[in-house]
Amino acid sequence: MLEDRLLKWKFRRGSRDALARIYEKYLDSMLTLAAGLLNDTSQAQDVVHDVFVSFAKSAPGFRLRGSLSGYLATSVVNRVRDYQRRRCRARRVGLAPPENTTATPEDTVIFTEQAGRLSQVIAELPDEQREVVLLRLTADMKFRDIAKLQQVSINTVQGRYRYGLDHLRSMLNGEVDK
């Protein structure tokens, strides 16, 4: 989009306004993507924090061919994967955090009951399908770009998307009709 093209151009030249606009424009969608992938708003905040701080560091010499939203979404996915790997390791050595954290996400992340329910259901999907469905529907990424990120063919990505939607439909069991 035209605005993103200008934002990238300005951001590369150190514009604080451009960074502010990018932050405002993409903060919530990246938070949604992270929350959907992790099914945990507290960790989603950490991921989004890391992504934006890292993005701010990249301003000098920032080069990007593709879309800004795609770039940020890819960053979110990579951070989420890091988190998931760390969480697995932590569990193996008995350092897993308690299920109910003391954080109060309501103060920091606002979401509806429906969003919470959807997030829970999406969390049931296999990782690859969850990624495809969320990248496609919350970050508007093209199948081609998702295929690059997942290092698989477009057909595989489209298959994962289809299976993901089928799973969701059966798990939601008519809830979306309401």
Partner 1 sequence: MKPKKKVEEAIRGKLRFTAGSTFRDRLWAEVMDTHQEFTSTRPVLHELDIRRKIMRNPIAKLTSVAAVIAVAAMSLVFWGRFNTPAYAIEQTVKALQNVRCLHIIGRDEAGEISDERWIEIGEDGYQVRYRQQNPPSVIEEHPGAPSMVIEDGESTAVYRQENKAVILYDRKEMQYQWVGQLGKAFDNLLQEGKILEENSEYQGRPAHKVWWPFMSAECYVDPETKLPIAIGNTELGYEEPPADTWEITIPDGFVVVDKRPGATPTTTPDWLIAEENAGEAKGESFRQGVEALIRGDHAEAAKQLEQALGCDSWATFWLGSAYYGLGQYDLAAEYFTEMLNTMLKAFGGDVLPYCNYALGLAQARAGNLEAVTVNFQACLPTMIQTLRIPSGGKMFEYADNPRIRCGQHKPSDQEMVVKMINRLRIITGQNFGYDPARTNEQNEAAIAAWEQWFQTDSQIRFTPDAELLPVPVSSAGEQTNANN
The residue ranges that bind partner 1 (CB under 8 A) are: 1-3, 5-6, 8-9, 14, 16, 19-20, 23, 27-28, 31-32, 35-36, 41, 44-45, 48-49, 52-53, 55-60, 63-65, 106-112, 114-115, 118-119, 122, 133-134, 137-138, 165-166, 168-169, 172, 176-177
Q: Based on CB atoms, which residue is closest to partner 1, 82 or 175? A: 175
- Least separation in angstroms between residue 93's CB and partner 1 is 30
Contact 35, 119 (CB under 8 A): yes
- Least separation in angstroms between residue 72's CB and partner 1 is 13
Place of tokens 């939607």: 165
Three-state DSSP class for residue 165: helix
Q: To 10 degrees, the CA torsion angle through 51, 57, 59, 60? A: -150
Q: Which of 154, 120, 95, 133 is nearest to 41 (CA)?
A: 120
Q: Based on CB atoms, which residue is closest to partner 1, 121 or 149? A: 121
Q: Based on CB atoms, which residue is closest to partner 1, 61 or 94? A: 61
Q: Based on CB atoms, which residue is closest to partner 1, 95 or 140? A: 140
CB atoms within 10 A of CB 112: 8
The Cα 136–Cα 60 span in angstroms is 30
Q: Based on CB atoms, which residue is closest to partner 1, 95 or 110? A: 110
- Least separation in angstroms between residue 148's CB and partner 1 is 12
First to last CA, the chain: 34
